[in-house]
Structure 1
């Protein structure tokens, strides 16, 4: 005969079964959680950089490296091939306009000047000799002409007498013809002498003009040599700083070789260099931010140099404060060229996670889990990037390098 089980016992057995099932489910859940913890990657929040998306303004910039250079700088070169005779200045010193910096050996120029002066004296003597010779010939021919004129008068008188006597039969026809020929001969001689005076004058004047032309050429050459002689006294073209000097006395220098460089003091601009990849985006008049440490100076692109060397384009930047105390010759600075500006846009701090413009996979953090999300990245100024779409203000994103998680859709962020 079966014994009826008490309801209390049945209830107790059900509670034990329910507890056993609950314990089993808890064990399975704990096991699954442990396996998930072991398999799913995680990152410590202290090992990554997390930025909060905010609203603000941004200027899209192109970054370049720059070097501070003087606005006005002049190079002084050697006018001839010579050597350094004496140095009067020191590199780095401040100089005044026309201050003597160094002397070049000028002996060859001095010899050339002496030779030219001798040649000029010869030409002057030649001009004087030609003038005297012409005057002497003129006087000789003038005297001969005066005598011929007397002879002509005498022959004409004689011819007139013979013509009268011939009518009376006092002279022969032969004597009359001889008298006529003597008149003609004297007239021809007189004309020839007068032509000789004009011909001699023209020839002598031509020789004198040639000598004067040669003298003028020599005077120009002398002026050039005297100018070269003055240039062997190397002087500062303006007041400034001596930033380069060939200070080795006795050193040989070639024609056109640099011997000194003077730069203007406390008036600077910037020469920037960057990849020619950005050449199309550059143009004169673009605004520029020049940074050195915590100092930021406003500027403007003055010109983009047309020549590209080794994949690098250069441009010159004028500064709003060219006399700023931080500026020094050859000081290296960061140059940010502003190509566009935007207001009231979503921004995030810049970091290795961002790579240029366009759609990019960025990890957005929600509830301790960073999930890969496609964000559309816009402008960048080197410190912040523009978020065009894919996130909202207040969202947090990992901006440090996440390349090792590029194949994961999500990563746990351990606090």
Structure 2
């Protein structure tokens, strides 16, 4: 006779089956995940860039942007605030030293010169007048001194006579004293007049010296204005090409504003700009490779400009071939500053897979599978990077962007 199944047994059986099913499913998922990690996704060979590790030499470089500029270039600035009167040259023209480029309106300078000349004439007249005045005073005082000398002589004679008569009792003591005082009075007056001549001479000489000093100052001002007048005719400072010109007749110009620029033709250097992050690695004399298209020119760092603007440092590069036909004023070029040179090392073409120096995860391709491998990356020149450890010559590496596979250990390469 059949007995009913115990509910507790049925519940236990269901729980057991559920646990078994869960375990099986977990095992399947784990196996799938392990297979995925072991085998990885597949990528087409033509969707990635693969480069071969090779032996060679590499220069550690810092990349910078550069612009070609003339070795010798001069600007001509406006000496006065004026306007452009007449233009005699055209932009891009070949000019010789002293060629007239343009003329500024010089009426204000001419007026200033006339004013200074009038002031000079006034000072000349003043000097003449003071000289005549001094001579006239000297003559007047000389005449007065002659009269005083006569008076003094007369009073001395009278005093001598009174002294003789006094001994004989012919004059009183009071009369003798009066005669003595008259002599002293005349001596004092004579001395005062003589001193007055010297005082007048010194005072007038001081005024004349002041007028002459003012005349010298005016002469210097006249020379300056005459130089400004000459500079209003703007001329080429040397033989070269006219690379800039203010050619608008009637245009207003300020003092110091550039009117023209003359550049030496077919003789160039490079001004390079790069982040100040690399400033400590820069030194004058470092080798430089300048590239423009397929043309490569060598040079050296001549000067590192001391001022840093907006996080950018600038340097000047002199070229081994400054007259190369490729060079043009304001041409943009690529500048590679060589900070170190290594020979007999392992190299691979540069690509997005590499990020600076140090240990990095890179996919090495062997037997149709790319496996993640830690490589120690060294120097780089923008076209190749150095491999210090982790690979050998002949290994093939994925150099393109592999960020999609950063969580995988390997990826199949399908041809």
Deviation at 1:172, TM superposition (A): 4.1
- How many angstroms does 1:151 deviate by? 2.2
Task: Please give the per-residue CA displacement for 1:93-120, whole angstroms capped at 9, x wherever unaligned.
Answer: 1111121111111111111111111111
Q: How does 1:131-142 map to 2 (within 5 A)?
A: 131-142=131-142
Ranges in structure 1 where 5+ consecutive residues have no aligned partner: 1-31
5 Å matches for 1:217-232? 217-232=217-232
Cα distance in 1, alignment partners of residues 405 and 174 from structure 2: 142
Match of 1:363 in 2: 363
Residue aligned with 1:309, SS: coil
Contact in 1 for aligned 2:106/2:229 (Cα 8 Å): yes
Tell me, what secondary structure is at the counterpart of 1:84? Answer: strand
**Whole-angstrom distance in 2 between the partners of 1:166 and 1:351:** 135
Q: Structure 2: which 5+ runs fail to align?
A: 1-31
**Equivalent residues in 2 for 1:249-398 (5 A)?**
249-398=249-398
| Corresponding residue number in structure 2 for 1:107 | 107
How far does residue 174 in structure 1 lie from its aligned partner after superposition?
Answer: 4.1
Q: Please tell me whether residue 152 in structure 1 is matched to residue 152 in structure 2.
A: yes
CA distance in 1, matches of 2:45, 2:328: 43
Report the TM-score when normalising by structure 2. 0.87
Q: Which whole-Å deviations, capped at 9, do the CAs of 1:229-263 have from their partners, x for residues lacking one?
A: 12111111111111111111110111111111111
Structure 1 partner of 2:143: 143
Give a deviation string over 1:373-406, Cα, whole Å, max 9, x none: 1111111111111111111111111212222222
Q: Is the 8 A contact 2:40 2:409 kept in 1?
A: no
Aligned pairs, number: 380
Q: Deviations over 1:203-248 (max 9, x none)?
A: 1111111111111111121122112112111111111111111111
Q: CA deviation at 1:175?
A: 3.8
**TM-score, normalization by structure 1:** 0.87
Deviations 1:142-162 (A, max 9, x none): 122122212222222222223
| Moved segments of 4+, more than 4 Å | none
Q: How does 1:178-217 map to 2 (within 5 A)?
A: 178-217=178-217
Q: Secondary structure at 2:308's aligned position in 1?
A: strand
Counterpart CA distance in 1 for 2:366 and 2:401 is 18
Secondary structure, aligned partner of 1:385: strand
SS at 1:307's partner residue?
coil
Deviates most, 232-241 or 326-335: 232-241
Further displaced range: 153-162 or 389-398: 153-162
> Secondary structure in 2 aligned to 1:62?
strand
